[in-house]
Each structure stands twice: as C-alpha cells, then as structure tokens.
Copies of this chain bind each other. A is one copy, B any other.
Amino acid sequence: MPGLHHLDPAGWARQIRAGDRRALARGLSLVENDQAAGERLLAELFPAAGHARMIGITGPPGAGKSTLASGLARLYRDRGERVAILAVDPTSAFSGGALLGDRIRMQEHWRDEGIYIRSMATRGALGGLAAATPRLADLLEAAGFERILIETVGVGQDEIEIARAADVTVLVLVPGLGDDIQTIKAGVMEIADVLVVNKADRGPERLEQELRAALTLDGRDDGWRPPIVRAIATTGQGLPALAEAVAARETALEQSQGREPSRRRQWRHRLDTMLADRVWRQLGAAHLASELDQMAAAIAAGRLNPYRDQVLDNFLRRFLPKP
C-alpha cells in the first residue's frame, strides 16, 4: 500500500469518521501492518472511540462461530445498530471451503452501510495478534460502529487475550464434534460469560450436562453464572435468546460498576502489553542486541548457566535504574 504514509492523519481520520469505507479499510490495514504510522492515525481517532459494545465470540474450529457472528450481526443491525465484525482468522494456504464459504455468505451484508466485516489475517503477526486486535477495534469504534463482534477462530492463549478486549465473551461449542475438539482450555471457560451450544439439533443434552458440571466446579469470582443458550446458527434459531443473554450480562456489568471500571481494566491490561513490548524494544533493539547474542552463545556453549546466581538479574541490573 504505497503512499499511505504520506496521507495526513487528521484528514484521513475525518474521512473515517464521516463513514468513508475505503478510508476505513485502508486505516485498518495500516494499523494492522505498521505500528508507528497506525498509532498516528489512532491518535486522531481516539477521542471518538470508547463507546461501542464489544462481544467476543470464541470456540473450537468447526463450531460455527462465523455463521453465528453473522446472524447476530444481522439481528443487531435489524434493531438499528451499526455493527462491525472483526474476524481474527488464522488464514493460511489451507484455509479452504468451509471458512471461505462462511466469509462469502457474510459478505452479503456488505451492501448495507451499517454493517462492516473485516477478516484479520494472523500471518506474520507473531506475538502481535492480541495487541493488534484492540487497536483495530478502537478504529472501528471511532468509525461509528456501536456494536463490534470480535470473532476468534481457534482455541488458545491468544483467544483468551483477545476475549479480554471484549465486554462480553461468548463461547461457542457443538455436540459430537469429537471429544478432543471440545477440549477447551479452562482459562477460556472461566472468562466465557455466555455459553452457546450450537448445532443443537444434534443432541445437545450431554454437552449441556458437561458444561453445567464444569460451571459448578469453577465458580467465578464475580458471581456471574454463565447461561447456556441452545442455537442453530444456520437457521437463526436461538439468536434472539443469545442476544438476550448478552444484554443480561451487559446490564449486570453496568449495574454493578458501570462501564468505566471495565474499560479501565482493559486499558490496564493493554498498557502492560504495550509498555512491556516497548520497554524491551527500546532496551533490546538499541544497545543490548550484541550483548544478548554473546550471552546466548555462552549459554549454548555451556559456559554460562542462565539459572545460576541471578545471572539474568545481574544482567538487567546493569541496564535498569535502581527502584
């Protein structure tokens, strides 16, 4: 995307806030691919962000998350909200039929200016995915979307990180996909605010039973009891109930504390990531690179024991100020 850097961030931000979809698309690409230039754009847009409701949708491959997200977006749109879907998508050479099919179905919404769908490729975003997602959400918020669905394809630490950026997290599961596909990290279970048993026409009872057992085992600190919603995303069945469960969670959050504490917690977490990354880049990239190379060589050759005698702490002490 040549030439983007020469655009004036303020003018660009005005175009995005005025609803120019092309400016928005290019802005998202910039934020995804170029941290420094992206932040200049975000700096202009930040005052307009912070008002959307964010819903994280996660679960194992094959659970029907895309179809569910698409249906849910339609439902919110029919209620008059402006909706964006941000799909964090482990694109690859293999990404084949099913996923692509879902995406094409989702594109049917495209002609409606009140719905925006963005797939975020994870290619090359090693370690940066979880950090990039909330930045893209900031941009979509600033563009005036009132409801942002963040859909993550996969199960893992990344998904937990991404879910933290949402106000409400929905975990989508399906009966009978095979036990090992249902293997969900306990961490995801603990942050799921609403559980969906999708493809509920396939005999949802056993899965629901397991979910209830798991919920009893792992009580949540905040006292919220995640409801279990049956759905058949392909027919739209259960979507109103899902929207209702999400709304109940939003109401509970707002009654208990309002929205600011939740935003504050999210920013506290984002700051950790942003600053840890920045600190290490400043220290590491600048003057530590060759010393780190030497240290790694000494360890690899067995001359230095990294676990011994606070070797690492001593190393850092030379570069960090006294507390």
In the complex, what residue of chain B is closest to A50 when comparing beta carbons? B302
CB-CB under 8 A from A159, the residues of chain B are 156
8 Å CB interface, A246-280 against B: 260, 263-268, 271-272, 274-280
Question: Which residue, A160, A213, A274, A279, has most C-beta atoms of chain B within 10 A?
Answer: A279
Knowing A61-B183, A93-B213, A94-B210, the reply to whether A323 touches B287 (Cβ < 8 A) is yes
1/0 per residue, CB under 8 A from B, across A36-62: the answer is 000110110011001000000000111
How far does the Cβ of A319 sit from chain B's closest Cβ, in whole Å?
7
Q: Are B271 and A280 in contact (CB under 8 A)?
A: no
In the complex, what residue of chain B is closest to A323 when comparing beta carbons? B286
Q: Are A300 and B263 in contact (CB under 8 A)?
A: yes
Q: Are B323 and A184 in contact (CB under 8 A)?
A: no
How far does the Cβ of A40 sit from chain B's closest Cβ, in whole Å?
8
| Segment at the B interface, from A106-114, A197-205, A303-311 | A303-311
Contact of A179 among B90, B98, B276 (CB under 8 A): B98
- Residue A313 at the B interface, CB < 8 A? yes
1/0 per residue, CB under 8 A from B, across A151-175: the answer is 0011111111000000000000000
Contact of A181 among B47, B61, B267 (CB under 8 A): B61
1/0 per residue, CB under 8 A from B, across A128-155: the answer is 0100000000000000000000000111
How far does the Cβ of A131 sit from chain B's closest Cβ, in whole Å?
11
How far does the Cβ of A170 sit from chain B's closest Cβ, in whole Å?
17
CB-CB under 8 A from A1, the residues of chain B are none
How far does the Cβ of A199 sit from chain B's closest Cβ, in whole Å?
13
- Residue A80 at the B interface, CB < 8 A? no
A42 to B299, CA, bound (A): 13
- Residue A187 at the B interface, CB < 8 A? yes
A-B contact pairs, 14 of them (CB 8 A): A50-B302, A92-B188, A93-B210, A94-B183, A96-B179, A98-B179, A124-B186, A129-B157, A153-B180, A154-B154, A158-B158, A275-B292, A283-B320, A286-B323
| Chain A residues near B (Cβ < 8 Å) | 39-40, 42-43, 46-47, 50, 60-62, 90-99, 122-124, 126-127, 129, 153-160, 178-189, 210, 213-214, 217-218, 260, 263-268, 271-272, 274-280, 282-284, 286-287, 292-293, 295-297, 299-302, 305-309, 312-313, 315-316, 319-321, 323
